[in-house]
Amino acid sequence: MATAEWKMAELGARSGVPVATIKFYQRENLLPPGERTSPNQALYGEAHLGRIRLIRALIEVGGLSIVAARQVLEAIDSERPLQETFEIAQHSVSEAIDPETLTTDALTHVDALMSGWHVSADNPGRLAAARVYDTFTGVGQVDAAGWFRRYAAAALLAAEADIDELDARAERAAKAEIVVVGTVLGDTLFSGLRRAAQEHVSALRYATPPAAEV
């Protein structure tokens, strides 16, 4: 870590996070200890400040639990292959789904959407998409306009952007961090942009109500 020169109170002031919360992050092994200068004092620096901001992003914006946040932070700090860091990040933001609870029809349908893709049978996203298919048909809906297929095409564009961001980083630590940040924030970013785009497309198509152009 870079030069540590701030006391805990200053780290709190700079991060905007209460000192009690910072101490909680340390007890939970989310944040490394400071540089000890005496039995009663430790100093902190930019690296700690950056880590606190990342913890906040994972928990407050990404909605991760403390346990999930610890797992992805450990993956960033480790020397694991990036592929493993990706898997840990994916699992941290995915609900565990028992494949036994899914219909064969749903899995077949989702695999057809991903025809030609290299995807493991236990990819959490494959199972999540199959559950959506079961739910969609379970409420009596029919995919009348290629909704699933078109979502798969959009998801492929987003995934290519994700991997390009990864490739744009040189160092292993920076690659691991963008894997985690992109995985956690990407869902929120996309869902936000989709809601804005829904308003736009429906305004275009139905021409009412006339929303202001931003």
Number of residues lying near a second copy (CB under 8 A): 95
Q: Residue 89 and residue 183: Cα distance in Å, rounded?
A: 6
Q: Which of 68, 86, 92, 176 binds a second copy (CB under 8 A)?
A: 86
> What Å distances lie between residue 135 and 66, 106, 113, 121, CA to CA?
29, 9, 17, 20
Beta bridge partners of 43: 35
Query: Which listed range, 2-10, 23-31, 67-75, 201-209, lies at the site for a second copy (CB under 8 A)?
Result: 201-209
Q: Give the shortest CB-25-to-a second copy separation in angstroms.
A: 15
Q: Residue 39 and residue 52: Cα distance in Å, rounded?
A: 23
Q: Which of 4, 43, 54, 106 binds a second copy (CB under 8 A)?
A: 54
Q: Residue 4 and residue 24: Cα distance in Å, rounded?
A: 20
Site for a second copy in 24-53 (CB under 8 A): 50, 53
Among 155, 143, 182, residue whose Cα is nearest residue 166: 182
Site for a second copy in 166-185 (CB under 8 A): 166-169, 177-178, 181-183, 185
Q: Give the shortest CB-90-to-a second copy separation in angstroms.
A: 5
Q: Give the shortest CB-83-to-a second copy separation in angstroms.
A: 6
Q: Kindly tell me which of 38 and 206 has the beta carbon lying closer to a second copy.
A: 206
Residue 209 as a binder of a second copy (CB under 8 A): the answer is: yes
Tokens of 98: 């028992």
Query: Which listed range, 3-11, 24-32, 69-77, 134-142, lies at the site for a second copy (CB under 8 A)?
Result: 134-142
Q: Is 94 helix (H, G, I), strand (E, B) or coil?
A: coil
Q: Residue 163 and residue 123: Cα distance in Å, rounded?
A: 17
